[in-house]
Amino acid sequence: MRAWRLILLGAPGVGKGTQADLLRQHLGTCHLSTGDVFRAAGKREASARSPAMAAALDFMHRGELVPNATVWEMVRERRQCLHCRGGFILDGFPRTRLQAESLRTLMQAEQIALDAVINYQLPVEEIIERLSGRRTCEQCQAVYQVTRQPSRLEEVCDRCRGTLRERDDDRPESVKVRMQAYEHSSAPLIQFYRELGVLLPIAATGSPEEIFARTAGLLNATLRG
Ligand code: AMP
């Protein structure tokens, strides 16, 4: 099977995490979500966090972007993911043009080529509606949505029976800040990948399965094209 090397872009709430999960299951790729790494660090004892990580978590809880240097350090520590035999999916990284440039330099040094940068697109009103009903499993990070994709039992994860919670940064005051941060930083990022000729815009409308089918179809079309 082909090893896909992909980046997922899209505003918070477009369903990147869900698509990353489906892509991982179907393509056998390694999945690296910087947001998941920060959330996992947030669950550790406060005394086990480095000062940079403690500061990063403060940014995250306010809905702001974590400084580039901290994010880059964390990605560099996990750069073996880029060599995963099944390929990789980067989800939530890069978020700024500087991060994208650092990643490109690293990939060039390690002689790894990027196949596609998927840009999931959805109208802002729909994003806000999806985020306001999002629930995440505190144990396995599975994502649900109270109306679109509910768990079988209320507040209980179908997969691991963990407790479902609303993320701190899915609260309306943080959502507003995150959307502004996304709009501010994503435009130059999208332009960067468009110029490299790897950008693949995909409508994130419909059910997760429909979005996945659309994604798989377009990825296969890039092979034929
Ligand atoms: P996510 O789960 O991707 O929405 O990320 C949750 C939060 O983690 C973001 O709102 C940021 O505070 C932080 N974060 C995750 N990835 C990055 C990144 N690449 N650059 C800066 N901050 C990030």
Contact 178 CB / ligand 1 (< 6 Å): yes
Q: What is the pLDDT along the chain (225 residues), one digit of tens a residue?
A: 789 999 999 998 898 989 999 999 999 999 999 999 998 888 888 888 888 889 999 999 888 899 999 999 999 999 999 999 999 999 999 999 999 999 999 999 999 999 999 999 998 888 888 888 899 999 998 999 998 889 999 999 999 999 999 988 888 778 888 888 888 888 899 999 999 999 999 999 999 999 999 999 999 998 876
Residue nearest to atom 8 of ligand 1 (CA): 35
Per annotation, catalytic residue among 5, 39, 95, 97: 95
pTM greater than 0.75 (yes/no): yes
Contact 127 CB / ligand 1 (< 6 Å): no
Element at 58 (helix H, strand E) = helix 51-62
Residue nearest to atom 6 of ligand 1 (CA): 35
Polymer length in residues for the chain: 225
Backbone torsions φ then ψ of 133, nearest 5 degrees:
-110, 15
Pairing of strands 134-137, 143-145: antiparallel
Q: In the annotation, is 134 catalytic? A: yes
The structure tokens listed for 112 are: 């790894």
- How many angstroms separate the alpha carbon of residue 1 from the centre of ligand 1? 31
- Residue 99 alpha carbon, nearest atom of ligand 1: 19
Contact 57 CB / ligand 1 (< 6 Å): no
Contact 72 CB / ligand 1 (< 6 Å): no
Using CA atoms, how far residue 114 sits from 103, 108, 180, 197, 199, in Å, is 10, 10, 28, 11, 10
Give the full edge-to-edge strand order of the sheet including 164-165: 143-145, 134-137, 164-165
Mutate to test the pocket of ligand 1, among 9, 21, 34, 169 (most ligand atoms within 8 A of CB): 34
Using CA atoms, how far residue 27 sits from 24, 66, 79, 87, in Å, is 5, 30, 20, 8
